[in-house]
Chains A and B, each alone.
Chain A
């Protein structure tokens, strides 16, 4: 592979494997000086693995990295930073308890007579941030500023430290339109200064707004690198999800099921989390929830399940007003909830697969009525078989299973309680392709059996495939509902984008 002197960073034939999967298969990425290069792909395509190889967070198995034409081999993120590759993540990796200035100059504070020269550090911090049109009190703790400002501080630090390559990993996920615009102004300015910028995002609008070129990954392989203005959106999506799949998804389209309305939420909401919304869910239907991260999808799920108490509105099940003020109350109404963050909110890592599966059922029965061991074994074996959970045996600690199998075990935990309404938040995130398809099939079969499901997903094509209706969220509010013929990926994206435009103007 030829490297050209315009390229500030070249990654050549990068390989990385994890037990059982090939996360990156000889992927190339060439970043030019002064360009914004979007790195796109679905969850699990290998974007974050590639970034981690570039920043030294992972050790690559093969391939080489050329920075400014010279081969580099960063052993950790710190070394990558020193070499010139700075990264800013979605969740700001700065210290909230230090001042803005300290965050900017941590480890390289200006010193006078051996002591940190706070005054000069603060002055330099103010000057540095002035380049980013940010005029804030740098002596305040970082925590007292919004995520957007923290994001800018993180960029300022990364650029100041590294100065060659800036990687922005989903920086806009929790920003509003105004803040995104501010961020983009900064990115354009950095571009003019000759930095190479890698931009990772889920939002295609933003890709087109700022990128010069686009590289698409799929299943750990390079699909291609194109000029952004020569690649239209439809083509881009086709590259991202694969052509075959794209057409297939158009054809699969469950007809709206005429089940009875079982769940009625009116004016349901909680201040600061999600604006009051109305929602009906019928028996035997899948209601999809689409929206950007931070749009209120997860908050909707949490409030429906009682993880946060609603402060307005009513909830009815089969016409009865019910109390959903805690997960226990929701479980009493035969609700189930697979949370988005499997590690922190889903699995109980050290407990066995069996114990994880019976946990919710046992909790509902109360501690005084233990499920007999024989029954526990039966349930565990039943679901291990039914959902094809790959585990050596049911006594294996669940943390040792792969992500997809953990997800299935959590699903089993809820299925064991025989729920009537199952809420799934990103059920297919971060799991391998095979398990992915199985979970989608499971969702469909549960629906056919008459269960009601609410499914949140970032993968719009997937939502289209199994949902009977899709609710679109934006800015902590439900803004649109699509069904029937309207229910296409294109319409959903449009609905998200349309509201986007309106709010921005």
Chain B
């Protein structure tokens, strides 16, 4: 097997094994209802994580997505409460804002040669600050269109539902996979992760690609914000704190190298599902406390970092001798 599929295979294996273990204990976990909920509950995280996957594949990081999600929620709530704007128009407006916001961060990172970590940290403060400025309180969204959107679902055999947002996440992943593997932009992202200097020598438009990567991440964070506001029917500036961390974790557990250049969008989906499964299991169990989620995810993260380190180590002699 090709080495680059190893982490992905490990992720899938872990997911299948842990799913089987969970199912052995609680057969209910196999029901389509649980699966449907797994998708719905993690939809916003999954969508944001697709953007994060691209950013990380290119060798960067985006700390701003949690704040952008919160901003999106508050923005929609405030706009829909005070204005007569149709939600779809508000959605379009919001996505434009967050995309431009991401593009701006990308431009700063590229043109001012600043580390992505600190630029997106500033972006995180800025986005959450804007959310605060719009409203400090949690603002409910009561627009009838939201009710319509929330009532849309595809019924699975066995009573499970793929809700609109759950389906949307799957669609975003599908498009993400297409972008990663079937577009020049996708290859350019991998190229940046492989080495910016070399990529530039080979004619990759580094500036445009960097800006577009962060713009895409901003777009998806905005979309994730819409999904989150549909999910919670409210906008709250303190919401979605630390989502960037969950997204990064999902990306790494999904087998993507945090240093960039290697990984798969599909792996991130599995990473999201593993996190969701742990949460579901803890809910099912009832006696286990919620903090085990964090500890378990931390351990998984550690295991994956070691696994990737091991793979790199193994592949090194081959690279050197040549």
Taking the complex as a whole, does A directly touch B, i.e. does some CB pair lie under 8 Å apart?
yes
**A140 in contact (CB, < 8 A):** yes
**Bound complex: CA of A428 vs CA of B195, how far in Å?**
30
The answer to whether A106 touches B317, judged by C-beta atoms less than 8 angstroms apart, is no
B interface SS class = helix
B residues with a Cβ closer than 8 A to A are: 2-4, 178, 181-184, 186-188, 190-191, 193-195, 198-204, 261-262, 315, 317-322
Contact of B3 (CB < 8 Å), options: A111, A116, A144, A146: A144
**Bound complex: CA of A140 vs CA of B315, how far in Å?**
14
The answer to whether B184 touches A116, judged by C-beta atoms less than 8 angstroms apart, is yes
Please give me the 5 A-B residue pairs with the lowest Cβ-Cβ distance, nearest first: A147-B322, A95-B194, A146-B322, A97-B261, A97-B194
Collect the chain A residues with CB atoms within 8 Å of residue B193's CB: 97
New A-B contacts (16) at CB < 8 Å, excluding given A102-B187, A107-B202: A93-B202, A95-B198, A95-B199, A95-B261, A96-B194, A97-B261, A97-B262, A98-B187, A103-B202, A107-B184, A114-B183, A141-B3, A143-B318, A144-B3, A272-B320, A272-B321
**Bound complex: CA of A174 vs CA of B320, how far in Å?**
10
**A407 in contact (CB, < 8 A):** no
**Bound complex: CA of A195 vs CA of B191, how far in Å?**
29
The answer to whether B194 touches A272, judged by C-beta atoms less than 8 angstroms apart, is no
Contact of A140 (CB < 8 Å), options: B2, B178, B203, B319: B2
Collect the chain B residues with CB atoms within 8 Å of residue A81's CB: 203
The answer to whether B183 touches A115, judged by C-beta atoms less than 8 angstroms apart, is yes
Collect the chain A residues with CB atoms within 8 Å of residue B317's CB: 272
Collect the chain B residues with CB atoms within 8 Å of residue A144's CB: 2-3, 315, 318
Q: Which of A272-290 contact B (CB under 8 A)?
A: 272
Question: Distance (Å) between the CB of B157 and the closest chain A CB?
Answer: 33
Question: Distance (Å) between the CB of A172 and the closest chain B CB?
Answer: 13
**Bound complex: CA of A447 vs CA of B117, how far in Å?**
51
17 A-B pairs in the complex with CB atoms less than 8 angstroms apart = A78-B203, A81-B203, A94-B202, A95-B261, A106-B187, A106-B191, A106-B202, A106-B203, A109-B187, A111-B184, A114-B183, A115-B182, A118-B181, A118-B182, A140-B2, A174-B322, A272-B321
The answer to whether B187 touches A97, judged by C-beta atoms less than 8 angstroms apart, is no
The answer to whether A98 touches B182, judged by C-beta atoms less than 8 angstroms apart, is no
Collect the chain B residues with CB atoms within 8 Å of residue A78's CB: 200-201, 203
Q: Which residue of B lies closest to A77 (CB)?
A: B201
The answer to whether A93 touches B198, judged by C-beta atoms less than 8 angstroms apart, is yes
**Bound complex: CA of A77 vs CA of B315, how far in Å?**
31
Task: Count residues on chain A whose CB falls below 8 Å from chain B CBs.
Answer: 30
Question: Distance (Å) between the CB of B199 and the closest chain A CB?
Answer: 7
**Bound complex: CA of A494 vs CA of B272, how far in Å?**
63
Collect the chain B residues with CB atoms within 8 Å of residue A111's CB: 184
**Bound complex: CA of A115 vs CA of B175, how far in Å?**
12
**Bound complex: CA of A143 vs CA of B2, how far in Å?**
11
The answer to whether B190 touches A97, judged by C-beta atoms less than 8 angstroms apart, is yes
Collect the chain A residues with CB atoms within 8 Å of residue B186's CB: 116
The answer to whether A141 touches B2, judged by C-beta atoms less than 8 angstroms apart, is yes
Question: Distance (Å) between the CB of B35 and the closest chain A CB?
Answer: 30
Q: Which residue of A lies closest to B187 (CB)?
A: A102
**A417 in contact (CB, < 8 A):** no
State whether A116 and B183 are in contact (beta carbons under 8 Å apart), knowing that A77-B201, A97-B190, A272-B317 are contacts in the complex. yes
Collect the chain B residues with CB atoms within 8 Å of residue A272's CB: 317, 320-321
Q: Which residue of A lies closest to B321 (CB)?
A: A272
Question: Distance (Å) between the CB of B201 and the closest chain A CB?
Answer: 5
**Bound complex: CA of A111 vs CA of B315, how far in Å?**
32
Q: Which of A100-125 contact B (CB under 8 A)?
A: 102-103, 106-107, 109, 111, 114-116, 118
The answer to whether B194 touches A98, judged by C-beta atoms less than 8 angstroms apart, is yes
The answer to whether B203 touches A107, judged by C-beta atoms less than 8 angstroms apart, is yes
**A412 in contact (CB, < 8 A):** no
Q: Which residue of B lies closest to A114 (CB)?
A: B183
**Bound complex: CA of A115 vs CA of B179, how far in Å?**
8
The answer to whether A115 touches B178, judged by C-beta atoms less than 8 angstroms apart, is yes
**Bound complex: CA of A81 vs CA of B202, how far in Å?**
9
Q: Which of A127-150 contact B (CB under 8 A)?
A: 140-141, 143-148, 150
Residue with the highest number of chain A CB atoms closer than 10 Å, among B193, B199, B202, B315: B202
Collect the chain A residues with CB atoms within 8 Å of residue B262's CB: 97
**Bound complex: CA of A115 vs CA of B181, how far in Å?**
9
Collect the chain B residues with CB atoms within 8 Å of residue A93's CB: 198, 201-202
Question: Distance (Å) between the CB of B45 and the closest chain A CB?
Answer: 27
The answer to whether B322 touches A95, judged by C-beta atoms less than 8 angstroms apart, is no
**Bound complex: CA of A107 vs CA of B184, how far in Å?**
6
**Bound complex: CA of A417 vs CA of B175, how far in Å?**
61
The answer to whether A98 touches B190, judged by C-beta atoms less than 8 angstroms apart, is yes
Collect the chain B residues with CB atoms within 8 Å of residue A174's CB: 322
Collect the chain A residues with CB atoms within 8 Å of residue B190's CB: 95, 97-98, 102
**Bound complex: CA of A79 vs CA of B201, how far in Å?**
10
The answer to whether B182 touches A107, judged by C-beta atoms less than 8 angstroms apart, is no
Question: Distance (Å) between the CB of B316 and the closest chain A CB?
Answer: 10
Contact of B202 (CB < 8 Å), options: A95, A96, A116, A141: A95
Collect the chain B residues with CB atoms within 8 Å of residue A114's CB: 183
**Bound complex: CA of A102 vs CA of B317, how far in Å?**
24
**Bound complex: CA of A107 vs CA of B320, how far in Å?**
28
Question: Distance (Å) between the CB of A491 and the closest chain B CB?
Answer: 31
Collect the chain A residues with CB atoms within 8 Å of residue B320's CB: 272
State whether A95 and B183 are in contact (beta carbons under 8 Å apart), knowing that A143-B315, A150-B322, A174-B322 are contacts in the complex. no
The answer to whether A143 touches B261, judged by C-beta atoms less than 8 angstroms apart, is no
Collect the chain B residues with CB atoms within 8 Å of residue A98's CB: 187, 190-191, 194
State whether A116 and B182 are in contact (beta carbons under 8 Å apart), knowing that A78-B203, A97-B194 are contacts in the complex. yes
The answer to whether A96 touches B319, judged by C-beta atoms less than 8 angstroms apart, is yes
State whether A148 and B204 are in contact (beta carbons under 8 Å apart), knowing that A95-B194, A116-B183 are contacts in the complex. no
The answer to whether A95 touches B191, judged by C-beta atoms less than 8 angstroms apart, is yes
Collect the chain A residues with CB atoms within 8 Å of residue B322's CB: 145-148, 150, 174
Question: Distance (Å) between the CB of A137 and the closest chain B CB?
Answer: 9
Collect the chain A residues with CB atoms within 8 Å of residue B2's CB: 140-141, 144
- Mark interface residues in A66-104 (1 if CB within 8 Å of B CB, else 0): 000000000001100100000000000111111000110
